[in-house]
Amino acid sequence: MAEAQNSATKKFSEFLESTPPHSPERISDLFGEGEIRGSTWFYPLEQPDAQLNCETCQGPRYFQNVGEKIWVSNERLRDVFLNYICRNCRSVVKSYAVRVKRAGSTEGEAVKYGELPAFGPVTPARVITLIGPDRELFLQGRRAESRGMGIGAFSYYRRVVENQKGRILAEIGKVAAKLGGNPGVLASFKAAEKETQFSKAIDEVKDGIPDALKIGGHNPLTLLHRSLSEGLHDHTDKECLEIAQEIRLVLTDLAERMSQALKEEAELQTAVSRLLARRSSN
C-alpha cells in the first residue's frame, strides 16, 4: 500500500464520507480490540455509520453497514468490500472496495480503490433539474473538478451549458412570466430558446432578466458566456479548474435563485388569495 498522504489521522467515518479513491489515509479508529487465534492476532475492522447523500431522500442521511464482521491479521494487507444502506429509506446502497492495513493499536491505513455510486461532492437537486438530460455529464464534470482535473471539468461543464442553453433560457422565461413579465419580454425568451448562438440569445433577452436572478447585479447568462468563451487550449489545467468552478457556481446560484423566486411568488399569491377570501367572508 502507498504511504498515507500525511501523518494526520482521520476517523473511519470521515474517510468513507470525504476521501476520494486512490488517496491513502491514516485512520485513528480503523480496528477494534484484537483476539489471538493460534499464534496470530486478528483485529475486527470497525464499520461505523457514515453520513452520505441519499438520492431517494434527497439529502444527507446516515448509512449503516450491512455486512458481516471482517477480521484482519496483524500488519497484513487485506482487500475488503463494504456495503452501506440508508437508515431512512432502506433502499439506497453505497458500496466500497477498500485496502486496509493495521498500524498499531486501533490505528491503520486505508485507501479506496473503488466506490459505487462514484465519489463526488453532493450536487443540489435544483441544479440537476435545471440541466435535465445532461445530469450525468454534469456529475462527470463535478467529479473531475473534485479531483483537480481542470481541463476535464471545464470541458464537461461547457458541453452541458451549450447543450442545455435553450432549457436554461426557458426556465428563466418561466420565472419572468411568474413575476409579471410583459408579453414582449416573454416572446423574446421564446425566440431566444431557438437561437443557436448563445451570444445572440443572451442579447435578445438581456432586458428581460428578472432582477431576482441577477448575481451581484449582473446577468447570469452573460457571466456564463464569459466563462465559456475562454479558450480551452489557452490556459493551464489550474486555470481551467478555476473557470470550471466559476461555471458551476454560477449555474448553482442561478438554480437556487430561480427556485427561491418561484417559491416567494407562490407564497405571495397564496397570501393574497387568503386575504381576499377573508375580506369576502367579512
254 to 214, 257, 260: CA distances (angstroms): 8, 5, 10
Question: What secondary structure letter does DSSP report for 147?
Answer: T
In the chain, how many domains are there?
Answer: 2
Judge whether residue 5 has pLDDT over 60. Answer: no
269, 159: one domain: yes
Q: Which residues contact 35 (CB under 8 A, 6 or more apart)?
A: 41, 42
Reported as a single tens digit per residue, the pLDDT across 244-268 is 999 999 999 999 999 888 887 667 6
Nearest in space to 168 (alpha carbons), one of 139, 195, 141: 195
154, 110: one domain: no
Q: Residue 4: pLDDT band by 50, 70, 90 thresholds?
A: low
Q: Judge contact between 241 and 148, C-beta under 8 A.
A: yes
Q: Residue 3: pLDDT band by 50, 70, 90 thresholds?
A: low
Residue 281 lies in a domain: no
Q: Residue 119: pLDDT band by 50, 70, 90 thresholds?
A: confident
Last residue of a domain, one of 116, 138, 162: 116
Residue 279 lies in a domain: no
pLDDT at 266: 67
147, 263: one domain: yes
Separation of CA 27 from chain center: 25
84, 36: one domain: yes
Residue 154 lies in a domain: yes
245, 189: one domain: yes
Q: In the chain, pLDDT over 70 holds for what percent of residues?
A: 93
At 228, phi and psi to the nearest 5?
A: -70, -25
Both ends of the chain: CA-CA distance in Å?
A: 78
Q: Residue 190: pLDDT band by 50, 70, 90 thresholds?
A: very high
52, 173: one domain: no
43, 146: one domain: no
141, 37: one domain: no
Residue 278 lies in a domain: no
Which H or E element spans position 176? Answer: helix 150-178
Beta bridge partners of 40: 37
Q: Residue 97: pLDDT band by 50, 70, 90 thresholds?
A: very high
pLDDT at 7: 56
Judge whether residue 19 has pLDDT over 60. Answer: yes
pLDDT at 8: 64
Average pLDDT over residues 14-35: 92
pLDDT at 234: 77
pLDDT at 187: 93
Last residue of a domain, one of 54, 83, 116: 116
Per this entry, what is the length of the chain?
A: 282
pLDDT at 223: 93
Average pLDDT over residues 1-5: 59
- Strand segments (E) across 21-77: 25-27, 35-37, 40-44, 50-54, 59-65, 71-73
> What's the domain range around 133?
125-273
Judge whether residue 18 has pLDDT over 70. Answer: yes
Our separate counts of H helices and E strands in the chain read 8, 10
Average pLDDT over residues 127-155: 89
Looking at 195-199, 214-218, 219-223, 271-275, which range is the least confident one? 271-275
Q: Can the peptide bond before residue 117 be classed as cis, meaning omega within 30 degrees of 0?
A: yes
